[in-house]
Amino acid sequence: MTNKRPDHEKERRDALRALDRVQDESETIIGSTFQRMAKRAGDHFGANDKASGDPIEVWGTRIGRFAGPALFVVWLIYMFFTYW
pLDDT tens, residue by residue, 15-43? 888 888 887 777 666 677 888 888 898 88
Range of the domain at 75: 4-83
The answer on pLDDT for 51 being more than 80 is: no
Q: Are 27 and 6 in contact (CB under 8 A)?
A: no
pLDDT of residue 4: 56
CA 57/CA 17 separation, integer angstroms:
53
What total of structural domains would you count in the chain?
1
Q: Are 59 and 77 in contact (CB under 8 A)?
A: no
